[in-house]
């Protein structure tokens, strides 16, 4: 289905590319896919989504492999700066250099961490851990109190519900917070190791609870699958894969974005937007694109030889959470069973197995 869709999209893209769509969206990631899907629900909008990556693959949709995409073609292959203060646990497993112009390879002792970002339809939602979590109510209320109209928890809750297709019967009944009508399917795990339940029970006293995942019928439900695939046949939506945007075109006299420049199959193209350019290229690439387009800190742009359009503190205040794993030796088989299963699947998988087996539902 995805292959058919991609051929169809490419043809439509070439037919429409010179016309000038009303709206250009840069990046078909977690945010961009939703925006592209939603805006194209309105037939009055003509939407072009430009995405640097390609289709989801037969492997990215399998939850059990969600940890395997760092350093692959589906990842932008970023790393942190080398440091003696962080990534200390990464000794002997650092990345540097590119293999066959594509992917990172391991080199020892550089004290860097891989910093994964999806380069694929669905963006990082196509390679992430699929945990379905909403932010803390007080975060949203804090943003609203800082003057961001429309961002309080009560303001954003209807949009969480609008997108949600929750397959847990208990949550589904809780209409105040959940919905079953949306595009993004959210499911419980159907299978867990006995160890998982033991850990969870230990944490219940601290109000730990089961977590849900963006999965549908045992497969990953990325924002591409949820929002773009169903919209793929709309006449007013074009999705251009393998289209790397290198600049937002901004009129310096009005400071208004009027188009984008992108690189596709060896050629640069300029396309115009009759109404808006929407930048949803992720936490690293959105600020990078703004700076490449002349919007950013004056001194840095000068150092890089980029003509300044607007001196703004772009690229600061990155916030992220730590991620680390802990390993324990057990005297029972369940944990080992999972990793052995993953390893053997990587070398022996067959399409039939995925279609028929329960293996597609395994995760973590
Ligand atoms: C390994 C990992 C695991 C994670 N696990 C979870 C989890 O379990 N649960 C959770 O809630 N969050 C998780 N996250 C975080 C979550 O996935 C991200 O916060 C979210 O996907 C970011 O969405 P976004 O739309 O901002 O960017 P992205 O989803 O990264 O989308 C950006 C898109 O823009 C495209 N793009 C970028 N630059 C250009 C360009 N120049 N031209 C054209 N296209 C471009 C990219 O290819 C990409 O498709 C995880 C993140 C990582 C890295």
Q: How confident is the model at residue 200 (pLDDT cuts 50, 70, 90)?
A: confident
Do 206 and 110 reside in the same domain of the chain? no
> What would the pLDDT profile of 255-272 be if each residue is shown by its tens digit?
999 999 999 999 999 999
Cβ of residue 226 lying under 6 Å from some atom of ligand 1: no
**Percent of the chain whose predicted confidence (pLDDT) is above 70:** 78
Give yes or no: residues 137 and 228 share one domain: no
State which of 213, 240, 265 marks the end of a domain.
Answer: 213
Could you tell me if the CB of 113 is within 6 A of ligand 1?
no
Per-residue model confidence (pLDDT) at position 190 = 79
Same domain, 255 and 350: yes
Indicate whether 62 and 100 sit together in one domain.
no
Res 10: pLDDT: 31
Q: What is the pLDDT of residue 29?
A: 93
Decide if pLDDT at 242 tops 80: yes
Give the ligand 1 atom nearest the CA of 129: 8
**59 with 40, same domain?**
yes
Report residue 107's pLDDT band, with 50, 70 and 90 as the boundaries.
Answer: low
193 shares a domain with 53? no
In a domain, 33, yes or no: yes
**Is the pLDDT confidence value at 93 over 60?**
no
In a domain, 270, yes or no: yes
Distance in Å, CA 282 to ligand 1 centroid: 6
Query: 247 in ligand 1 pocket by Cβ < 6 Å?
Result: no
Residues 204 and 107 in one domain: no
Q: Whose CA is nearest to atom 45 of ligand 1?
A: 27
Q: How confident is the model at residue 21 (pLDDT cuts 50, 70, 90)?
A: low
Where in the sequence is the domain holding 109, given as residue range(s)?
77-115
Element (H, E) at 303: helix 298-304
Q: Is residue 100 part of a domain?
A: yes
Q: Are residues 36 and 159 in the same domain?
A: no
- 106 and 137 co-located in one domain: no
Q: Quote the ligand 1 centre to 79 CA distance (angstroms).
A: 15
The pLDDT value recorded for residue 164 is 98
DSSP string, 228-295: ITTTTT-TTEEEESS-EEEEEEEETTTTEEEEEEEEETTEEEEEE-SSEEEE--HHHHHHHHHHHTTE
- Alpha carbon of 312 to ligand 1 centroid (Å): 24
Question: Which burial class, exposed, middle or buried, applies to 252 when counting CB atoms under 10 A from its CB (0-12, 13-18, 19+)?
Answer: exposed
How much is the pLDDT for 109?
59
**Does 281 contact ligand 1 (Cβ within 6 A)?**
yes
Mean pLDDT computed over 209-228: 95
Rounded to the nearest 10 degrees, what angle do helices 153-163 and 137-145 cross at? 130
186 lines ligand 1 (CB under 6 A): no
Q: How confident is the model at residue 162 (pLDDT cuts 50, 70, 90)?
A: very high
Q: What is the ipTM of this complex?
A: 0.99
Task: Answer with the residue of higher pLDDT: 179 or 102.
Answer: 179
Average pLDDT, stretch 24-29?
Answer: 82
Q: How far is the CA of 117 from the centre of ligand 1 (A)?
A: 5
Distance 40 CA to ligand 1 centre (A): 21
198 with 344, same domain: the answer is no
Q: Whose CA is nearest to atom 9 of ligand 1?
A: 131
Check pocket membership of 358 for ligand 1, CB cut-off 6 A.
no
Give the Å distance between the CA of 175 and the centre of ligand 1. Answer: 29
Residue 356: the pLDDT is 43
- CA torsion sign for 201, 206, 207, 210 is negative
Mean pLDDT over 310-331 rounds to 83
Q: What is the pLDDT of residue 101?
A: 54
Where residue 174 falls among pLDDT bands split at 50, 70, 90?
Answer: very high
Residue 101 falls inside a structural domain? yes
Q: Is the pLDDT of residue 104 over 80?
A: no
Check pocket membership of 27 for ligand 1, CB cut-off 6 A.
yes
State the pLDDT at residue 103.
62
What mean pLDDT do residues 38-61 have? 94
């Amino acid at each position: 289905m995805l292959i058919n869709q991609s051929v169809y999209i490419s043809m439509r893209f070439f037919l429409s590319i010179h016309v000038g769509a009303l709206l250009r969206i840069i990046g078909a990631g977690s945010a961009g896919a939703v925006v592209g899907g939603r805006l194209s629900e309105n037939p009055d909008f003509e939407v072009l989504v430009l995405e640097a990556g390609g289709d989801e693959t037969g492997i990215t949709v399998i939850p059990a492999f969600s940890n395997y995409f760092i350093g692959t073609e589906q990842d932008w292959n970023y790393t942190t700066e080398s440091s003696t203060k962080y990534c200390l646990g990464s000794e002997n497993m650092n990345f540097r250099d590119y293999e066959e112009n594509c992917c990172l390879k391991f080199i020892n002792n550089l004290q860097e961490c891989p910093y994964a970002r999806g380069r694929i339809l669905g963006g990082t939602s196509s390679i992430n851990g699929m945990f379905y979590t909403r932010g803390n109510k007080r975060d949203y209320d804090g943003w609203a109190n800082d003057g961001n109209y429309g961002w309080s928890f009560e303001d954003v809750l209807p949009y969480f519900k609008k997108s949600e297709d929750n397959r847990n019967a208990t949550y589904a009944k809780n209409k105040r917070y959940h919905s079953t009508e949306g595009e993004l399917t959210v499911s419980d795990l159907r299978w867990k190791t006995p160890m998982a339940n033991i850990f969870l029970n230990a944490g219940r006293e601290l109000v730990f609870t089961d977590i849900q995942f963006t999965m549908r019928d045992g497969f990953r439900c990325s924002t591409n699958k949820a929002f773009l695939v169903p919209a793929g046949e709309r006449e007013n939506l074009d999705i251009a894969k393998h289209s790397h945007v290198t600049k937002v075109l901004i009129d310096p006299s009005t400071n208004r974005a009027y188009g984008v420049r992108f690189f596709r199959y060896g050629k640069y193209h300029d396309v115009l937007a009759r109404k808006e350019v929407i930048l949803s290229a992720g936490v690293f690439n959105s600020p990078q694109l703004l700076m490449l387009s002349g919007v950013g800190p004056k001194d840095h742009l000068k150092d890089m030889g980029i003509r300044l359009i607007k001196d703004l503190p772009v690229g600061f205040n990155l916030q992220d959470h730590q991620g680390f794993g802990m390993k324990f030796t057990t005297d029972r088989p369940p944990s080992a069973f999972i990793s052995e299963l993953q390893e053997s699947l990587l070398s022996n998988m067959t399409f039939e197995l995925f279609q028929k087996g329960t293996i597609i539902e395994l995760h973590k």
